Amino acid sequence: MAPPPFLCAQSWVHEPQCGALDSWWGVVVRFCPEYGGQWGKVEYGGAKWRRVKGVGAVFLGTYTPKLDDKGRFFLPAKFRDQLASGLVITRQQDHCLAIWPTETFMTEVAQAAIGPSTVRGVRDYQRMVASGASDELPDSQGRVGIPLPLRTYAGLAKDIVVIGAINRLEVWDAAAWAAYSAEQEEAFAALDEAGLTTEQPR
């Protein structure tokens, strides 16, 4: 099977679970520069490849902007286009913040809404995410303001770290990120595929 013409030679391709070469769907690839150079999805069916929408932005890297006196910081330049139309800032586990493209956040909300509100853990999660969420629009200089309650939750002062977390950005207090990163490095180095499964042993 020939690859699609828009597939970058160095793309990361994740095969769907079905593994059937004649029915690939939702394959995540990086497109060639002449096709935008961004991440996206393709489908394969009926001996034809086609490009589909849906994967959205992919956020990678570590950045160290500063918070100003008004709680604003400059978004990393490479992500400003993806977030120019709007974003949502929420509480995240580990006392950091998540910055979502609005479309991605709405997908997360739809998934969270599936859980029954009769389950306490579901109610707690829905409340904490929704009550702390703040929809923002970057200004003309690419700055985003973080509301005070969210800054307080994450313990943010002037020195912050912004990291890419695949489908979102995360904002950490610089000292908190240094401590977390140092703690996780050895565990990450020793991680194997079995450590990533969510299934419990029988």
CA distance 10 to 41: 15
CA distance 55 to 36: 14
Question: Which residue type is seen at 125?
Answer: Y
Element holding 63 (H helix, E strand)? strand 62-63
The model's pLDDT over 55-75, given as tens digits with 9 standing for 90+, comes to 456 899 999 999 999 999 999
Higher pLDDT residue, 91 or 122?
91
Domains of the chain (ranges, CATH numbers) = 1-55 (no CATH), 62-182 (3.40.1550.20)
* Lowest mean per-residue pLDDT among 49-58, 146-155, 166-175, 181-190: 49-58
The pLDDT, as a whole number, for residue 114 is 79
Give 166's contacts (C-beta < 8 A, 6+ positions apart): 58, 59, 60
**Region at 30 (left for phi over 0; alpha for psi -120 to 50; beta for the rest):** beta
The model's pLDDT over 156-182, given as tens digits with 9 standing for 90+, comes to 999 999 999 988 999 999 999 999 999
